[in-house]
Amino acid sequence: MPTESVAVTCKVCGGRVHEFLDLGRQPLSDAFREPDSDVPEFFFRLAVGRCEACAMVQLTESVPREKMFHEDYPYHSSGSAVMRAHFASVAQRFLDTELAVADPFIVEMGCNDGVMLSTIKQAGVRHLGFEPSSGVAEAARAEGIRVRTVFFEEATAAQVRAEEGPAQVIYAANTMCHIPYPASIFRGVDALLAPDGVFVFEDPYLGDLVAKTSFDQIYDEHFFLFSGHSVRAMAEHYGFELVDVDRLPVHGGEVRYTLARAGRRAPSPAVAELLAEEDADGLSDMQTLRGFADSVLRIRDDLMELLRRLRAEGSVVAAYGATAKSATVTNFCGIGPELVSYVCDSTPAKQHRMTPGKHIPVRPPAAFRDPYPDYALLFAWNHADEIMGKEREFRRCGGQWISYVPDVRVL
């Protein structure tokens, strides 16, 4: 719900951050529970605000990193065919450009199960992944990827520079937005990056989130919600420069940002184009962000009205995709097993557990077909085409999909 002008300190520049949306008491988004567990759940207040100085949109309360990223972290980047293809393309792009030099070296922070670095390894290029979640790190090592099971920060990056020399590329995908201590990250980048190297990261884009009212992109792991303006300001604050941007269709809309040391590279026209688009849309204006907050309340009310009506009519409603972001939806809206009977997910580590907070049972994909529910709430909406292509029989049997992005509708 919209909030009063609560102010905290910006994690980037120290300015005042004013809240515009409060999503209430939330659990850890990836803390799927055993049915018989009696361990108390960790909850925190999920609210988001904007810095009046640098326009960075960010959570106003952070969760300790060790609670989110640990040996049981369940997300595997290689679990989606779309994402496998995406990361193969990213790797090939680096191989064709920045890494086309003598003895190249690339470092990835938050490499997960090594899906991007696998293409780099196959090309015989020197590489290193930082991955603090030991379970997915071991999956990467099993594929021959070089991984350090530590957090990327100033001290660990400096150690790598001393042992292995500078990196031409430091890359992160869906990782920078997780980190509420950017000063240490940028000091680490400065220590490890070659003088003419690039720091490249891609994360969910605030412009897409606002345009689609995809409020489920706001959860514990997504501390920052980046825009072109806020990334440019962050880069300048730490002695870097935003030199290129690429709009990406993955994960419901992302932007890939390329940073270099100030004055080392001329910014591409794409940077000015994105900034002008954001200015035209008023993306950094509190009025725009408060309008987004109003739309979130409308979606919550519409979704709950639909689910209650369907269950009152005797329909069976399941959900598809036990995503991290679905925790925001279920806990903010109040969706439990009395409205959604179960969630299907292909990740073995999530199956036969319960969703965080609302404790909806998570079942393997075979349960979705035995028998089909009447309706399926599409939590993994950013993979809609891939999922619907795989589950064509569901629709042929009379099943219907429910989406809540950008509004609540039966597909």
Q: What would the pLDDT profile of 318-350 be if each residue is shown by its tens digit?
A: 999 999 999 999 999 999 999 999 999 998 989
Instruction: Report CA torsion sign: 174, 179, 183, 185.
Output: negative
How far from 180 is each of 63, 231, 294, CA to CA, in Å?
A: 9, 14, 26
Percent over 70 (pLDDT), the chain: 96
Give 382's DSSP letter.
G
**Mean pLDDT, residues 352-366 taken together:** 96
Range 136-151 average pLDDT = 93
Q: Which two tokens stand for residue 125?
A: 């290029």
Structural domains of the chain ordered from first start: 7-60 (no CATH), 77-287 (3.40.50.150), 312-410 (3.40.50.720)
Closest by Cα among 31, 110, 21, 4 to 58: 21
Q: What is the per-residue pLDDT for 80?
A: 76
Q: Is the pTM of this model over 0.85?
A: yes
Res. 85 pLDDT band, cuts 50 70 90: very high
**Do 219 and 188 meet the contact criterion of CB atoms below 8 Å apart?**
no
Pairing between β-strand 224-225 and β-strand 7-9 as defined by DSSP bridges: unpaired
Question: pLDDT tens-digit profile of 184-210?
Answer: 999 999 999 999 999 999 999 999 999
Q: Of 172, 170, 112, 167, give the one whose Cα is nearest residue 143.
A: 112
| Angstrom distance (rounded) from CA 6 to CA 11 | 15
Q: Alpha-carbon distance 323 to 29, whole Å?
A: 8
Q: What is the mean pLDDT of residues 246-270?
A: 94
pLDDT digits (tens, 9 = 90+) for 6-31: 569 999 999 999 999 999 999 999 89
CA distances from 370 to 191, 353, 393 (A): 55, 19, 12
pLDDT of 130 above 90: yes
Give the confidence band of 76 by pLDDT, cuts at 50, 70, 90: low
Supply the mean pLDDT for the chain.
94
pLDDT for 81 equals 84
The H-assigned helical ranges of 321-408 are 326-333, 365-368, 384-390, 392-396
